[in-house]
Amino acid sequence: MGTEQPDQLRQQLKSLASMLELDNLYVYRTRSNGRPSMTVLYGAYPEREAANKALQALPKILRANQPQLRTVGGVVEEIKQLQ
């Protein structure tokens, strides 16, 4: 989940608060289609299997957004490219 608009992100986070634990949400700045964006991540998992299980347990409305698994290394690389 991500957006270019801070107000839209606030609304999305309010909506997520009713479905997920906010303490497990992480937001970082990135680029999408060449434009500044913010991406939301959920959870930190010790292994891919646990992450896949959590992905399948997400509410159907969130799975409809086609969430993807990300590694910490992948996120760090993405952030480095923007600096």
How many CB atoms sit inside 10 A of residue 72's CB?
9
Q: Which CATH number fits domain 2-82: 2.60.40.1120, 3.40.50.2300, 3.30.70.1070, 3.20.20.10?
A: 3.30.70.1070
* Domain residue extents for the chain: 2-82
pLDDT at 1: 58
pLDDT digit string, tens, across residues 16-66: 888 998 899 888 888 878 888 888 889 999 999 999 999 999 999 989 989
Q: Minimum mean pLDDT among 50-54, 59-63, 67-71, 76-80: which range?
A: 76-80
The alpha carbons of the chain give a radius of gyration, in whole angstroms, of 13
Short-list 2, 8, 51, CA closest to 27: 2
Q: From CA 42, how far away is CA 27, in angstroms rounded?
A: 9
Phi–psi pair at 36, nearest 5 degrees: -55, 140
Q: Answer for the pair 27, 36: CB distance below 8 angstroms, yes or no.
A: no
What is the reported pTM? 0.73
